[in-house]
Amino acid sequence: MHDEPARDQPEDPPLQRSKGRPRSTTADDAILAAARSLLADGGWAGLTMGDVATRAGVAKTTLYRRWNSKHELAIAAVAEMLGTLHLPDRGTDLRADIEDVVRRFAALLGRPEMRTALMGLVADSTSDPALRQRIREEVVDPQKRLVVEGRARAKSRGEISAPGDIDVDLVFDVISGTVVQHILVSAEPATDAWVQRFTTFVVAGLLA
């Protein structure tokens, strides 16, 4: 038996279809919105995967394909909220940049869903090293971009002489740690006077 002529063979193999349907960003948004709503309404104990699915109007399988635990979902919700923080380019000085981000961060921490999620995650992470690592990688470390951006602007304006003059990790810890302590632990408001006093302290240390 003779082989089939080469011209009868297709030039290219058929395209492989990817398995499964594309992930729906609409479902993601609905789930995260439902999680934030439940955190605000019912606190940490009120956040259950079943209730999130019901409020979001999605099947549990849809929810678990995206986030397989309450902790993962809460981390995603917190990371999304913190992702809205930015440094508007006022073109002025380092003090204005720091004061602006302190106000914005304090306002976020004042939201019940953010406060509930953060305190619940931190409490549960005390006995869960893997959860602490996830929080550090997905919530804490990405926000250091604000310090990096602020440092670059200060250098471009001649306020600092070199990028290495500001320790990103230390500055982040000082600012975020103080604001978290003030808002979440001490439960004090971020008044204009407090924000200005704190900013003066930070800038004095940075530019000393």
Show Cβ contacts of residue 50 under 8 Å, excluding neighbours closer than 6 positions: 60
Domain with 188 in it: 80-207
Domain boundary residue among 68, 90, 125?
68
112 & 151 share domain: yes
> How many of the other CB atoms lie within 10 Å of CB of 45?
8
126 & 36 share domain: no
What's the pLDDT at 23? 57
112 & 47 share domain: no
40 & 140 share domain: no
137 inside domain: yes
What's the pLDDT tens digit per position in 115-147? Answer: 999 999 999 999 999 999 999 999 999 999 999
CB 102 within 8 A of CB 190: yes
109 & 181 share domain: yes
53 & 104 share domain: no
Domain boundary residue among 12, 38, 68?
68
The pTM of the full predicted model, rounded to 2 decimals, is 0.82
192 & 121 share domain: yes
Percent of the chain predicted with pLDDT > 70: 85
| CATH label of the domain that carries residue 164 | 1.10.357.10
And the tokens for 47?
């956040």
The total number of structural domains in the chain stands at 2
Q: How confident is the model at residue 87 (pLDDT cuts 50, 70, 90)?
A: confident
What's the pLDDT at 131? 97
131 inside domain: yes
What's the pLDDT tens digit per position in 96-121? Answer: 999 999 999 999 999 999 999 999 99
51 & 123 share domain: no
151 & 181 share domain: yes
Which parts of the chain fold into alpha helices (H)?
Answer: 25-42, 49-56, 60-66, 70-82, 94-109, 112-125, 129-135, 145-156, 168-180, 192-207
CB 118 within 8 A of CB 140: no
4 inside domain: no
86 & 58 share domain: no
102 & 183 share domain: yes
**Is residue 160's pLDDT more than 50?**
yes
91 & 153 share domain: yes
What's the pLDDT tens digit per position in 52-83? Answer: 999 999 999 999 999 999 999 999 999 999 99
Q: How confident is the model at residue 164 (pLDDT cuts 50, 70, 90)?
A: low
